[in-house]
């Protein structure tokens, strides 16, 4: 493997002004050793002054992306570094515009003064050397351990437990947590003497946050989404509720962490948001004023931003409308307001999506603004999405048959990569019907309209009122309450002033 270095001195001020962030004074140097097959290719780098939401960081407005071109056979670039700067690199992009990075969904934190040499083509064989490289190696070993131990546990142990037994499910969740977290904590402990205490504290919090999130997710999947009749050892709803409430308390992350460590974490704020969403389901109530009462200032703004972007699906239309108004007052930091503005929680005053040109299955171009005077129901989907197909079959198709077409237009926006696959799915009747306005979005998940709504999952319904304003993005009203709930909400959107 030939070592190729590329020197890239960035126009830092221009890049950062485009990202809406302040100019950083410190910097660090990264040297990439190009793997075979990429010698002389353009290298692409992405970095973030701050990652607000770990679940959608590749689409964040806070991201800066730039190419590194070969200069005299050298591949070296500098990054401006703040307290929470993260980066990754890659050699090209997927059809959907995602950077093809060896780190995939992971990123690495870079600190002022780091001088790192990175060599290798996959997460498994990448090596880090140079000043400050110890924390990179420690985090890489943790990410790899998480992947391997989690897969091993599911392959070797998950079938041992009876998933129709509440007692077995509880034991399964606890065993999986202990098995996966113990290996990562052991690796972190071995690195403790090599890395700064601040990095040790941050990585410990990341490990705990990731594994407690998975535990709560398993409670949601295996208990909260089931009825008493599914289980062999659950006579009634009260028994089931007591079981998942007790397990929630047992698997909650109860340790307290300094605010400085929390601010440096990617996964803990996401955990707190997910935890709050699960607690909402268990208690079957939503109270905006009770959200994150133990936090204040900018950290609370970040937690509110993450919670509503990631966990707003169970909220109904009225709760979402109230929350949008409160967020417009409570979240003032421009970094966070930009994240909210690029999500389904955007304010109703933002109607930029209305004039984006779209093309239907017959080649006719149109804009959503063409439908002013009617409510517009939008369904985002893709071929192979079981939830998308189920949503259409059980809810949308029935509502569409009963809907007054003088009051509402049904539009489907598909993110498939292949036009022939999309056309086959449209004609199959599994995801939509020929009576809807069906659109294949150019660029898929990277298309402007997907980005403006910052989708974090599919299917995603969006309902516009007759003026083109967002009326509802509530999965509760538009999906979970069945055809009747969808029709009722469409009628409210049509009559909205």
Q: Distance between CA atoms of 100 and 89, rounded to whole angstroms?
A: 8
Cα-atom radius of gyration of the chain, to the nearest Å?
24
Question: Residue 190 class from Cβ within 10 Å (0-12 exposed, 13-18 middle, 19+ buried)?
Answer: exposed
- Angle, in degrees to the nearest 10, between helices 297-311 and 317-330: 150
Computed from CA positions of residues 390, 391, 395, 397, in that sequence, does the dihedral angle turn out positive or negative? negative
Query: Phi then psi for 413, rounded to 5 degrees?
Result: -120, 115
Q: Among candidates 67, 69, 64, which has minimal Cα distance to 81? A: 64
Alpha-carbon distance of 153 to 145, in angstroms, equals 12
What are the 10-residue block averages of pLDDT along the chain, 497 residues in total? 35 32 65 82 91 83 86 80 89 76 78 92 88 94 93 92 94 96 96 95 96 96 91 90 93 93 94 94 92 95 94 89 94 93 83 91 94 96 94 96 95 93 94 93 84 82 94 93 96 92
Distances from the Cα of 75 to the Cαs of 67, 117, 150, 224, 342, in angstroms? 11, 11, 36, 51, 34
Neighbours of 232 (CB within 10 A): 10
From the list 349, 379, 383, 389, the residue with the least C-alpha distance to 449 is 379
Question: According to the model, what pLDDT value does residue 6 have?
Answer: 35
Q: 82 near 12, Cβ under 8 Å?
A: no
Angle subtended at Cα 445 by Cα 451 and Cα 274, rounded to the nearest 5 degrees: 70
pLDDT at position 2 is 36
Can you tell me the distance from the alpha carbon of 30 to that of 7, in angstroms, rounded to the nearest whole number?
Answer: 10
pLDDT of res. 73: 60
Other residues' Cβ atoms within 10 Å of the Cβ of residue 61: 17
Task: Quote the crossing angle between the two packed helices 237-251 and 267-283, to the nearest 10°.
Answer: 160
Q: Hunting for tokens 């909402």 — which residue is that?
A: 280
* Single pTM value for the model: 0.85
Return the pLDDT at 107: 87
H or E stretch covering 119: strand 115-119
């Amino acid at each position: 493997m030939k070592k190729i270095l590329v020197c890239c001195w960035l126009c830092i001020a221009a890049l950062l002004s485009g990202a809406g962030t302040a100019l950083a004074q410190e910097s660090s140097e990264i040297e990439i050793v190009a793997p075979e097959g990429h010698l002389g290719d353009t290298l692409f780098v992405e970095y973030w002054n701050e990652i607000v939401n770990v679940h959608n960081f590749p689409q964040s407005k806070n991201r800066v992306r730039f190419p590194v071109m070969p200069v005299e056979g050298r591949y070296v670039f500098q990054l401006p570094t703040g307290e929470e700067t993260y980066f990754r690199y890659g050699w090209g992009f997927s059809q959907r515009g995602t950077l093809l990075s060896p780190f995939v969904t992971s990123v690495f934190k870079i600190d002022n003064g780091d001088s790192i040499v990175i060599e290798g083509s996959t997460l498994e064989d990448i090596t880090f050397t140079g000043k400050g490289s110890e924390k990179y190696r420690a985090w890489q070993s943790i990410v790899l351990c998480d992947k391997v131990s989690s897969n091993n546990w599911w392959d070797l142990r998950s079938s041992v437990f009876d998933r129709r037994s509440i007692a077995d499910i509880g034991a399964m969740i606890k065993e999986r947590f202990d098995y996966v977290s113990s290996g990562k904590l052991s690796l972190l402990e071995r690195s403790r003497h090599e890395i700064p205490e601040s990095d040790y504290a941050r990585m410990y919090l990341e490990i705990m946050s990731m594994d407690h999130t998975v535990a709560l997710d398993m409670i949601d999947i295996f208990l909260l989404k089931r009825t008493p009749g599914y289980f062999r050892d659950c006579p009634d709803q009260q028994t089931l509720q007591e079981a998942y409430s007790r397990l929630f308390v047992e698997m909650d992350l109860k340790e307290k962490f300094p605010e400085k460590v929390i601010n440096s974490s990617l996964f803990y704020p996401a955990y707190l948001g997910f935890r709050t969403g699960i607690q909402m389901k268990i208690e079957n109530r939503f109270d905006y004023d009770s959200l994150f009462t133990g936090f204040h200032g900018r950290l609370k703004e970040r937690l509110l931003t993450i919670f509503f972007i990631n966990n707003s699906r169970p909220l109904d239309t009225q709760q979402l409308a109230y929350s949008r108004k409160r967020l417009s007052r409570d979240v003032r930091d421009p970094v966070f307001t930009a994240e909210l503005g690029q999500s389904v929680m955007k304010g109703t005053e933002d109607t930029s999506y209305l004039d984006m040109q779209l093309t239907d299955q017959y080649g006719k171009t149109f804009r959503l603004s063409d439908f002013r005077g009617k409510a517009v129901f939008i369904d985002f989907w893709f071929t192979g999405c079981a939830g998308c197909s189920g949503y259409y079959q059980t809810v949308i198709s029935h509502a569409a048959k009963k809907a007054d077409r003088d009051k509402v237009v049904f539009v489907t926006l598909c993110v498939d990569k292949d036009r022939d696959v999309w056309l086959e799915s449209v004609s199959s009747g599994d995801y939509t019907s020929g009576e809807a306005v069906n659109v294949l979005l150019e660029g898929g998940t990277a298309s402007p309209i997907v980005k403006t709504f910052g989708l974090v999952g599919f299917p995603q319904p969006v309902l516009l009122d007759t003026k083109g304003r967002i009326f509802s993005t509530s999965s509760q009203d538009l999906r979970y309450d069945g055809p009747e709930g969808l029709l009722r909400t469409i009628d409210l959107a049509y009559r909205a002033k």
